[in-house]
C-alpha cells in the first residue's frame, strides 16, 4: 500500500484527487535538465569528499544521463503519483541502476534541490534573454541607420509636436532595451548563487563541500544562510518584474506600430508574412503580431502580481504555496523570449513610408515653437513670442492653412520682427537640424548616437 518516499508515519494512502491537485509534474518537468545537471555535480562533490565512492558516483551519473536521454527521446512516462520532476528522475534512476539510486539524495532535500534547479534554469534563460535583446538592439540600430534622414512628426499627447528624425524616434527604443539588458544583468548576480547544501532548512550533518559544488556548476557564489536559501524567491520576482518593464516597452512600440500601420497614419507597412487577414473582410491586413505582443504585456504583469501575492506573508521556510512560483516564471520566460524574437524578425520586414511621414510633419503647425524661437532670437521675450505664435496658429487654423502658407505681410501683422528669412527658418529640415543639444534630434546628433550604439553592440554599420 505504501509507496511514497516519506510515508513511514502515514497510515493512509494519499487521496487520488489530492495527488492530482498537488502534482506539479506538468509544469516542473521543464526543469529536468537543470535537475540532472545539479545531481551530477552533487555526486561528483560527494565522491571527492568520500561521502560516496567514486564508483557509486560514476554509476549514478551515467544512470542520470540515461534518464535524461529517455526524457529527451520522449520515452518517459509521467505520473501524478510521483508528484514532481525530482521524484520522477529519482524513480527512473532506480529503474536504471537499482538500489544505489537511493544514495543520490544524501545530504540534500527537495527544498534546496528545487531552489538549485530553478536557479540553473533561470541563469541560462536570463543569459538567453540578454543575448536576444542585443540582437533586437542591432536590428533597431540597423534600421535607424538605413533610414537616416527621414523626418516624421514627433508627438506629445498624441498631438503633433515637433519634427524629429524617424531614426531618432527608433533609437529611443534602443535606449529602453539597453536598460532592460542592464536590469537582467543586475538580477543575474542575485540568481547566480548556489543554494545546495542548505538541505531542508538548517544545513546538513554531511560534510558537504559546497564550494566544490559551486565550482562544478559554475556559480559565482554560495548562499550564506540555509533558511533564506530555501525560502527565497526574490530572484524569480525580480526577473519577472524586469520582464514586465521590458514587455511594457514592447507594448509602447506595439501601440506605435499598430497606429503607424493604420490608414490614418500610413507611416509603415508590415509585410504580408507578419500580418494576417480577416475571414470576412477581404481588404484587412492586421498587425496581429504587435497587437498580440501588446496583449502579452498584460500576461506578464499578471504573472508578476501572481508571484508577489503568492509570496506575501509566507513565514519561513519552505511552504507549499511556493510550488506556484514556477508557472508564472516559466510563462514569463517563454512570453518574453518569443516577443523579443518575433520583433527582431519582424522589424526588417517593415516598409517605412518616409514621404508620408514627412508630409505629416509639414502639417499641424509643428513649426510654431520655432516661430516663437525666431522671435526670441530677434529680441522678443519667449513668453510673449509664444503668445504671438499661438495667435498666428489660431489665425491660420481658421483659414485652414499652415503657417508657411501665410504671406510675410500676413505674418507681420502678428509681429513686425518677422522678415523673409522666417520661411527658411521654419522648414521641417532646418528645424530638425537646429536641435543640436546632446541627445537631440539633429542629424549630427542622431548619427553620433547610432555610431555609439554600433560600438556598444560591436557591430558594423553597412
Contact of 427 with 362, CB cutoff 8 Å:
no
Q: Specify whether the CB–CB gap between 370 and 425 falls below 8 A.
A: yes
From the list 23, 231, 278, 407, the catalytic residue is: 278
Smallest distance, Å, CB 431 to a second copy? 8
At 155, which helix (H) or strand (E)?
Answer: strand 151-156
Cβ distance to a second copy smaller for residue 143 or 251:
251
SS3 at position 363:
coil
| Least gap, CB of 223 to a second copy (angstroms) | 5
Q: Which CB, 69 or 316, lies closer to a second copy?
A: 316
Q: Write down the least CB distance from residue 408 to a second copy, Å.
A: 19
Q: How far apart are CA 339 and CA 283, in angstroms?
A: 27
Which stretches does DSSP call E strand in 23-68? none
Closer residue to a second copy, CB minimum distance, 40 or 450: 450
**Beta-ladder partners of 421:** none
Which one, 36 or 230, has the nearer CB to a second copy?
230
Least Å distance, CB 7 to a second copy, is: 6
d(CA 361, CA 151): 7
Please report how close the Cβ of residue 151 comes to a second copy at its closest, in angstroms.
11
State the catalytic residue, choosing from 23, 39, 157, 263. Answer: 157
Residues 6+ apart with CB under 8 A from 99: none
Q: How far apart are CA 429 and CA 432, in angstroms?
A: 5
On whether the CB atoms of residues 211 and 304 are closer than 8 A, the answer is: no
C-alpha cell at 282: 477581404
Query: 159-165 and 151-156: which strand pairing?
Result: antiparallel
Backbone dihedral angles phi then psi of residue 96, each to the nearest 5 degrees: -85, -45
Are residues 186 and 130 in contact, defined by beta-carbon separation less than 8 angstroms? no
Minimum distance from CB of 207 to a second copy (Å)?
7
Q: How many Å apart are CA 56 and CA 58, to the nearest integer?
A: 5
Known catalytic residue at 157: yes
Based on CB atoms, which residue is closest to a second copy, 7 or 69? Answer: 7
If the CB atoms of residues 218 and 381 are measured against a second copy, the closer one turns out to be: 381
Q: What angle do CA 231, 235, 236 make, to 5 degrees?
A: 90
Annotated catalytic sites, by residue?
A: 157, 278
Amino acid at each position: 500500500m505504501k509507496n511514497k518516499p516519506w510515508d513511514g508515519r502515514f497510515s493512509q494512502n494519499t487521496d487520488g484527487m489530492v495527488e492530482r491537485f498537488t502534482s506539479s509534474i506538468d509544469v516542473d518537468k521543464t526543469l529536468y535538465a537543470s535537475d540532472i545537471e545539479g545531481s551530477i555535480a552533487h555526486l561528483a562533490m560527494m565522491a571527492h569528499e568520500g561521502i560516496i565512492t567514486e564508483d557509486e558516483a560514476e554509476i549514478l551519473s551515467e544512470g542520470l544521463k540515461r534518464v535524461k536521454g529517455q526524457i529527451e527521446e520522449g520515452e518517459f512516462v509521467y505520473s501524478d503519483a510521483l508528484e514532481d520532476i525530482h521524484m520522477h528522475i529519482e524513480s527512473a534512476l532506480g529503474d536504471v541502476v537499482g538500489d544505489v539510486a537511493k544514495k543520490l539524495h544524501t545530504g540534500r532535500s527537495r527544498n534546496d534541490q528545487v531552489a538549485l534547479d530553478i536557479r540553473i534554469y533561470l541563469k541560462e534563460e536570463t543569459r538567453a534573454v540578454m543575448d536576444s535583446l542585443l540582437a533586437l538592439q542591432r536590428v533597431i540600430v540597423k534600421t535607424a541607420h538605413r533610414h537616416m534622414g527621414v523626418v516624421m512628426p514627433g508627438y506629445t499627447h498624441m498631438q503633433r509636436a515637433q519634427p524629429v528624425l524617424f531614426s531618432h524616434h527608433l533609437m529611443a527604443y534602443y535606449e529602453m532595451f539597453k536598460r532592460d539588458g542592464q536590469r537582467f544583468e543586475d538580477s543575474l548576480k542575485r540568481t547566480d548563487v548556489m543554494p545546495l547544501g542548505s538541505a531542508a532548512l538548517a544545513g546538513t550533518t554531511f560534510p558537504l563541500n559546497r564550494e566544490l559544488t559551486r565550482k562544478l556548476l559554475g556559480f559565482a557564489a554560495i548562499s550564506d544562510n540555509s533558511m533564506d536559501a530555501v525560502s527565497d524567491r526574490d530572484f524569480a520576482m525580480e526577473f519577472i518584474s524586469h520582464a514586465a518593464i521590458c514587455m511594457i516597452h514592447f507594448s509602447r512600440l506595439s501601440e506605435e506600430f499598430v497606429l503607424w500601420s493604420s490608414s490614418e497614419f500610413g507611416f509603415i507597412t508590415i509585410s504580408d508574412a507578419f500580418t494576417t487577414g480577416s475571414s470576412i473582410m477581404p481588404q484587412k491586413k492586421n498587425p496581429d503580431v504587435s497587437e498580440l505582443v501588446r496583449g502579452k504585456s498584460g500576461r506578464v504583469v499578471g504573472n508578476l502580481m501572481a508571484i508577489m501575492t503568492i509570496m506575501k506573508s509566507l513565514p519561513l521556510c519552505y511552504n507549499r504555496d511556493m510550488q506556484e512560483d514556477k508557472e508564472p516564471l516559466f510563462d514569463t520566460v517563454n512570453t518574453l523570449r518569443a516577443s523579443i524574437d518575433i520583433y527582431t524578425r519582424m522589424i526588417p520586414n517593415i516598409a517605412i513610408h518616409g514621404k508620408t511621414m514627412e508630409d505629416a510633419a509639414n502639417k499641424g503647425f509643428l513649426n510654431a515653437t520655432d516661430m516663437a524661437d525666431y522671435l526670441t532670437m530677434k529680441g522678443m521675450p519667449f513668453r510673449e513670442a509664444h503668445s504671438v505664435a499661438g495667435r498666428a496658429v489660431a489665425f491660420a487654423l481658421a483659414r485652414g492653412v499652415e503657417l508657411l502658407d501665410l504671406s510675410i505681410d500676413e505674418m507681420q501683422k502678428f509681429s513686425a520682427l518677422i522678415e523673409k528669412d522666417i520661411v527658411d527658418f521654419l522648414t521641417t529640415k532646418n528645424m530638425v537640424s537646429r536641435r543640436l543639444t546632446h541627445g537631440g534630434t539633429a542629424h549630427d546628433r542622431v548619427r553620433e548616437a547610432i555610431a555609439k550604439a554600433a560600438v556598444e553592440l560591436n557591430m558594423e554599420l553597412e
